Chain A
Amino acid sequence: MFARNPSAIAGMLLLGAVLLVALGGPWVMGADPFEITAAPMTPPFSEDAFLGTDYLGRDVLATLVYGGRATLLVGAVAALLSVAIGITLGAMAGYYGGKVDAMLMRVTEFFQVLPALLFAMVVVTLFSPTLLTTTLAIGVVSWTGTARLTRAEFMKFRNLEFVRAEQAIGASHARIIWKVILPNALPPLIVSATLAIGSAILFEAGLSFLGLGDQNRMSWGLMIGASRQYVLSCWWAVAFPGAAIFVTVLAVSLIGDGLNDALNPKLRER
């Protein structure tokens, strides 16, 4: 089903292209994205710089090629972290119910009320911005959606016969949660995880844009933020990195939508 969905295929192709450039590009180019290669604010399609240079003279194309790594790395790992936390807490809340559920729901509510960007900004500033702190900060504030979803799924499955059968033959709670219920609850969680990657990438871009990402690693958000004051005379330094973010997140969303259609036929939006 997924294989026949045109926009999902488009998404996969786009993502494949992005990954190829991000992972293989730096190896091919062998340049330093922070290096000043030409006159500042060279427009695109000139012979010195294919996509132009920014206000310092850094090559925009190099930015695109090298920036993908930081963005994608942080996006993927942060999403993984948030999904891991979300599934664990949601599974426990949904399965055990009662006091455990009430307490975990309080915690979830707390993290939901916490102003995410602001909190991440504070954390990153306090503990000095590196790829690690950025990833942790994003992961720690983004898990509530997955948790609620997991909890709902587990509550559905908890009372079904096959689960009760496992309990009757004495299976441990851990086994039931991880080996019995979770594989069945996976489809909506996979979709949620895909969307989480998109959100994490956008979050990272936002933090880098504000100058709160790792200043030593080139990322797309960093380039946009750095060129912010020169946007009127140097639009290419803003437009191209932004387009790169857009294309990546779009690709991930299309894949997520395709997975949603394939795995959740009942929830499909008409």
Chain B
Amino acid sequence: MRALKRLVSRLAQGLTLVLAVVVLNFVLVHAAPGDPVETIAGASGGMDEKLQAELRAQYGLDRPLPVQLGIYLGKVLRGDLGYSYFFNLPVSGLIAERVPATLALVLTAVLAAFVMGTTLGVLSSRKPNGWLSQTINVLSLVGFAAPVFWLGMLLVILLASVFPVFPVSGMRGIESDGQGLRDVLDVLHHLVLPAFTLGLAYLAQYSRLSRAAMLDVLGADYIRTARAKGLSERVVLYKHALRNAVLPVVTVLGLQFGNVLAGAIVVETVFNWPGLGRLAYESVLRRDYPTILGVLLFSSVVVVVMNQLTDLCYRLIDPRIKAA
């Protein structure tokens, strides 16, 4: 019963946050200088006052701000995110179309970084001053200091031009028909460079975190006891110590998800990956307000969900941690 109450309160908290984000962005977007009708007028080569006024009425831009906000929120609650000014298609459709691409990119990058990072961290914790450890230190600094877009472009030069191993951009080859195993392999082939670029910084960070956590834990009394009991090193490491190494990584992963989405915007732009990030970027340039707001809403929801999931995983991994 208490768990249910907690769950409900968390949901409420999450919803309030998302709502606040949407309201803020709505206000910002509509209170700033210039409006979409002017942009459309500019793009179509000029428009007389009467037509502008008509368009404004059509888009509801002549109503007072709070009314517009109310209308917008009402629509959102019904799942209607409006129509893109640029595409003239429903925003929710645009988002749904591009989510799989971004999902593939982000999940691959983060999962690979998590698995490889934790493994490297655990392995290097056995020899804290060995070459693996030093490599991780260096990689860590590089991963943090190098701009993501720069790394991506260097990788493209190296692995797509000098040694043409991977494709330069896009998600599929031109000749692809979008079906079957061949398509899946094609997409995977295109996925490698972007996912690697996105995940590298996190790989380095997770290695460092898990190594530090392992080193912390390996000195604890209960590990000594386990060893004294005669348990094999493998069991000690993986059954008892590993949970502690994974914990800070999970926390950071969950809390940093916003950064991952930001990284996805940049990586998708560099590699022409047809995902949500690129849609967001292009919409910002085109002042396609409904799309911008839709993507912002979607990202916020994702971040809130990730935060809650992290909390949940947190408590699953470490049963000592009680309520929020």
Given A198-B144, A198-B145, residue A116 in contact with residue B258 (CB < 8 A): yes
Given A202-B147, A210-B266, residue A126 in contact with residue B33 (CB < 8 A): yes
Which residues of B lie under 8 Å from residue A239 when comparing CB positions?
Answer: 150, 154, 157
**Contact for A253 among B29, B141, B281, CB less than 8 A:** B141
B28:A126 contact, CB within 8 angstroms: yes
**Contact for A113 among B145, B258, B262, B266, CB less than 8 A:** B258
Which residues of A lie under 8 Å from residue B266 when comparing CB positions?
Answer: 117, 206, 209-210
B157:A118 contact, CB within 8 angstroms: no
A115:B168 contact, CB within 8 angstroms: no
Counting CB contacts under 8 A, is A99 at the interface?
Answer: no
Which residues of A lie under 8 Å from residue B191 when comparing CB positions?
Answer: none
Q: A224 to B284, alpha carbons, bound, how many Å? A: 20
Q: Which size class do B's interface residues fall under?
A: 35 or more
Counting CB contacts under 8 A, is B174 at the interface?
Answer: no
Given A127-B32, A242-B147, residue A116 in contact with residue B262 (CB < 8 A): yes
Q: A126 to B157, alpha carbons, bound, how many Å? A: 34
Given A116-B262, A122-B25, A242-B153, residue A209 in contact with residue B145 (CB < 8 A): no
Counting CB contacts under 8 A, is B108 at the interface?
Answer: no
**Contact for A115 among B156, B161, B262, B285, CB less than 8 A:** B262
B258:A235 contact, CB within 8 angstroms: no
A110:B17 contact, CB within 8 angstroms: yes
Q: Which of A198, A245, A254 has the most CB of B within 10 A?
A: A245
Please give the distance in Å from B222's CB to the nearest CB on chain A. 19
Please give the distance in Å from A28's CB to the nearest CB on chain B. 26
Counting CB contacts under 8 A, is A205 at the interface?
Answer: yes
Q: Which of B212, B215, B265, B287 has the most CB of A within 10 A?
A: B265
Residues in B227-284 with C-beta less than 8 Å from chain A:
255, 258-259, 261-262, 265-266, 269-270, 280-281, 284
Q: Which of A115, A119, A210 has the most CB of B within 10 A?
A: A115
Given A110-B20, A127-B33, residue A250 in contact with residue B300 (CB < 8 A): no
Counting CB contacts under 8 A, is B193 at the interface?
Answer: no
B144:A253 contact, CB within 8 angstroms: yes
Q: A113 to B15, alpha carbons, bound, how many Å? A: 12
Given A113-B258, A210-B269, A245-B150, residue A122 in contact with residue B284 (CB < 8 A): yes
Please give the distance in Å from A66's CB to the nearest CB on chain B. 18
B147:A125 contact, CB within 8 angstroms: no
Which residues of B lie under 8 Å from residue A210 when comparing CB positions?
Answer: 265-266, 269, 281
Counting CB contacts under 8 A, is B208 at the interface?
Answer: yes
Counting CB contacts under 8 A, is B21 at the interface?
Answer: yes
Given A224-B150, A242-B147, A246-B145, residue A118 in contact with residue B296 (CB < 8 A): yes
Please give the distance in Å from B17's CB to the nearest CB on chain A. 5
A250:B285 contact, CB within 8 angstroms: no
Proximity bits, B279-318, A CB within 8 Å = 1, else 0: 0110011010000100110011001100100000000000
Please give the distance in Å from B242's CB to the nearest CB on chain A. 18
Counting CB contacts under 8 A, is B59 at the interface?
Answer: no
Q: A3 to B215, alpha carbons, bound, how many Å? A: 27
Please give the distance in Å from A117's CB to the nearest CB on chain B. 4
Residues in A236-270 with C-beta less than 8 Å from chain B:
238-239, 242-243, 245-246, 249-250, 253-254, 269-270
A115:B261 contact, CB within 8 angstroms: yes
Residues in B39-65 with C-beta less than 8 Å from chain A:
none
Proximity bits, A204-231, B CB within 8 Å = 1, else 0: 0110011110000000010011001001
Q: A117 to B249, alpha carbons, bound, how many Å? A: 23
**Contact for B299 among A112, A115, A238, A249, CB less than 8 A:** A115
CB<8 Å pairs between A and B, sample of 28 = A113-B303, A114-B21, A115-B261, A117-B265, A119-B25, A122-B292, A125-B284, A198-B144, A206-B148, A209-B147, A209-B149, A210-B281, A221-B147, A224-B153, A231-B153, A232-B156, A238-B150, A238-B154, A239-B154, A239-B157, A242-B149, A242-B154, A246-B146, A246-B147, A249-B146, A253-B145, A270-B212, A270-B216
